[in-house]
Amino acid sequence: MIWNYSMTDCDLREAQAQPERDAPAESWINPRDGSAMRLIPAGEFTMGSMPPQIEAARLMNIGGHEFSLLDELPQFRAYVPDYYVSVYAVTNEQFAAFLSEARPTPAQLKRWAPALERINVPAKKSDVYGVTPGFERHPVIHVSWFGAEAYCRWAGLRLPTEIEWEKAARGVDGRIFPWGNEWHDQVLRWDGDKLRKYGTTAPVDAYPEGRSPYGIFQMAGNVDEWCADWYQWDVYRRYATGDLRAPAKGEMRVVRGGTCANWKKIRFRCAHRRGNDAAIVNVLYTGIRCACSAPPSGSNLILTACPASEPGRQSDGVRLYGCSLFGATAARIK
């Protein structure tokens, strides 16, 4: 079954600018915003749910019967070409840098971030946007779809499609959660852990035990993440026939992942779908994860481990945040 993926103009420019390579880079740093990008290799994966899985999901929490989950039917296999997603959600620090350069009008800012929090609007136009101390590496929150799309465009990237998002979260084995098939309270930021009730976000590199099969952090919990697609509750019926074009129109945009304010386990499954008004952040805690079909021209960068003497968080063999270029030391591909 072939996914008839339609490339955007940005993707076409990126693809045309790339010299031929024996194999795509496994990971690289985006020079525009410092995002660490990870390859999701081409291939098929399982998307959606089967009826028995939906019935089991409804039993995960009291009140689970309130979720029809019919938008996850039918389950199907989809082929996806190579693409990249950011290892971490966009941080307050990154979004503040975007705003400082974009210089949005008050109306634009309201459209991009209807309930801006933890990012401080400068008193003078010549000043930069600041971040509340201690939240620099937390994910940006309360961002509309328009704000997410504007950020990705500024960074030379794009929002992931819904199909891309689920493959990056789920891998190829059809697992229920990014970390596997069994629920674990301590591998994500959510509001159901009564032993450690947080009520707020965590840094984007927290909970390495909850990573997806591709090493992507926090595909469940912390913040919801916008996808590029219009939300259409029955689009899987068409997808199952092999026509994997995203919906051409709709009234809401797709949101995935679950937040630190959610307490129902059902929401953190890789297959869980939700639509939200693109301009209204009515569920709050909506954030951003970027994607790309190929590294932009001149960005032939790969991740390398930082020297042991540099401070930073150790995860997946790469020392983070103590290194140059935001996420890790960058080295040119020879």
For the chain, domain boundaries = 9-299
Amino acid identity at 63: G
Has residue 169 got a pLDDT over 80? yes
Least confident among 104-108, 235-239, 293-297: 293-297
**Nearest Cα residue to 149 out of 279, 38, 275:** 279
Average pLDDT over all residues of the chain: 84
Average pLDDT score over residue span 98-107: 96
pLDDT at 176: 97
What is the pLDDT at residue 318?
A: 32
d(CA 109, CA 143): 10
- Cβ count within 10 A of residue 226: 29
CA–chain centroid gap for 192, Å, is 22
Mean pLDDT of 286-290: 97
pLDDT value of residue 177: 98
The reported pLDDT for the residue numbered 22 is: 63
Q: Report pLDDT for 198.
A: 60
Mean pLDDT of 168-176: 97
Q: How confident is the model at residue 65 (pLDDT cuts 50, 70, 90)?
A: low
- What is the Cα–Cα distance from 218 to 284, expressed in whole angstroms? 17
Q: Find tokens 């990126």 and name the residue.
A: 14
> CA distances (Å), 127 to each of 12, 20, 99, 120, 266, in order?
36, 43, 11, 11, 43
What is the pLDDT, as a whole number, of residue 12? 46
pLDDT reported for residue 197: 57
> What is the Cα gyration radius of the chain?
19
Q: How far is it, in rounded angstroms, from Cα 105 to Cα 93?
A: 20
Taking only the tens place, the pLDDT of each residue in 244-285 is 999 999 999 999 999 998 889 999 999 999 999 999 766 678
User: Confidence class of residue 140 from pLDDT cuts 50, 70 and 90?
Assistant: very high
DSSP state of 179: T
pLDDT at 63 over 80: no
pLDDT at 210: 98
Are 118 and 92 in contact by the 8 Å Cβ rule? The answer is yes
Q: Given pLDDT bands bounded at 50, 70 and 90, which one contains residue 125? A: confident
Q: Would the pLDDT of 28 be above 90?
A: yes
- 230 vs 303 pLDDT, higher one: 230
**pLDDT beyond 70 at 168:** yes
> How confident is the model at residue 156, as a pLDDT?
96
Any idea which residue has 């309130």 for tokens? 66
The predicted pLDDT at position 50 comes to: 97
Of 264, 332, 334, the residue nearest 303 (C-alpha): 332
Percent of the chain with pLDDT over 90: 69
* CATH number belonging to domain 9-299: 3.90.1580.10
**Res. 213: pLDDT tops 50:** yes
Whether the predicted pLDDT of 193 surpasses 90: no
CA atoms of 321 and 334, how far apart (whole Å): 25
Q: What is the pLDDT of residue 284?
A: 74
